[in-house]
Amino acid sequence: MRSPYRGRGFGGRAVVWLTAYLFEELPGIRRIEATTRQDNAAMRLPFSGTGMSRRPTTATRDPGRTGGREDGP
């Protein structure tokens, strides 16, 4: 997201809307998973502020800064 729009709650509102939409439109689902890199605090913030719980992971799916895999939290 571009700088003028960061920190204004758009991410959190998008997570709330998308979660409600998915549970309404796909009644068979039981949970939604979201992933991001461990060091991406800006992306993790909307998830934590909307009631999602953090679950530990064993490894990230994306390459780390050096190109190799990084262990998750």
Segments making up each domain of the chain, as ranges: 3-48
Query: Which pLDDT score, from 0 to 100, does residue 41 have?
Result: 79
Query: Which pLDDT score, from 0 to 100, does residue 72 have?
Result: 46
Write out residues in the chain with pLDDT < 50, as ranges. 72-73
Per-residue CA distances from 33 to 4, 18, 54 (Å): 28, 12, 10
Nearest partner of 16 among 30, 34, 39, 4, judged by Cα: 34
**3-state helix vs strand vs coil in the chain, percent to 5:** 35, 5, 60
